[in-house]
């Protein structure tokens, strides 16, 4: 059985990769990744898509171009990219922790970002429900979406 440190080393090697993620520029986001590694059960870690990229750029990075899949290889179209805004660094740590967990939950649940007209917040509720099982307080993303997004 792996130690907590060995688990973190594996998780960090998989999801905290330069140039996608700069820990020294994203301290709170990096801490949230550590907390997620501790809280997420192994069976859920095993459900994380094989190819997932956590994009947590430094605040001064204005843009970036990264290939997620090659169109000639349809089997690679399942790759997932998680974007974690530099704005997270200004938020309370518990909120950063929950946001990081919430985005990983979307990947685990296979959400594709398509919004259903019948229930536009279903995927957000499902992600919040999963992170609640990992001892996180839900992100209230449905309320944020109602205020901040246009239909």
Number of domains forming the structure of the chain: 1
Chain center to CA of 49: 12
Residue 53 bridge partners (DSSP):
81
Q: What pLDDT digit, counting tens, does each position of 82-110 carry?
A: 889 898 899 899 999 999 999 999 989 98
Q: How many CB atoms lie within 10 A of CB 135?
A: 11
CA distance 83 to 46: 21
Query: DSSP label at 91?
Result: S
The per-residue pLDDT for 43 is 95
User: What is the span of the domain harbouring residue 42?
Assistant: 4-148
Q: What pLDDT digit, counting tens, does each position of 56-81 carry?
A: 887 776 555 454 554 555 555 456 78
Helix-helix angle 122-132:93-108, to 10 degrees: 110
pTM (predicted TM-score): 0.75
């Amino acid at each position: 059985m792996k130690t907590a440190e060995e688990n973190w080393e594996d998780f960090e090697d998989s999801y905290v990769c330069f140039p996608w993620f700069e820990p020294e520029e994203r301290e709170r986001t990096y801490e949230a990744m550590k907390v997620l590694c501790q809280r997420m059960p192994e069976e859920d870690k095993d459900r994380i898509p094989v190819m997932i990229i956590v994009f947590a750029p430094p605040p001064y990075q204005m843009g970036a171009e990264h290939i997620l899949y090659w169109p000639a290889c349809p089997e690679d179209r399942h790759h997932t990219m998680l974007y974690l805004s530099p704005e997270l660094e200004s938020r309370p740590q518990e909120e950063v922790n929950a946001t990081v967990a919430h985005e990983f939950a979307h990947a685990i649940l296979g959400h594709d970002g398509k919004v259903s007209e019948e229930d536009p917040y279903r995927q957000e509720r499902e992600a919040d429900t999963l992170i609640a099982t990992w001892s996180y307080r839900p992100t209230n993303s449905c309320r944020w979406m109602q205020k901040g997004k246009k239909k």
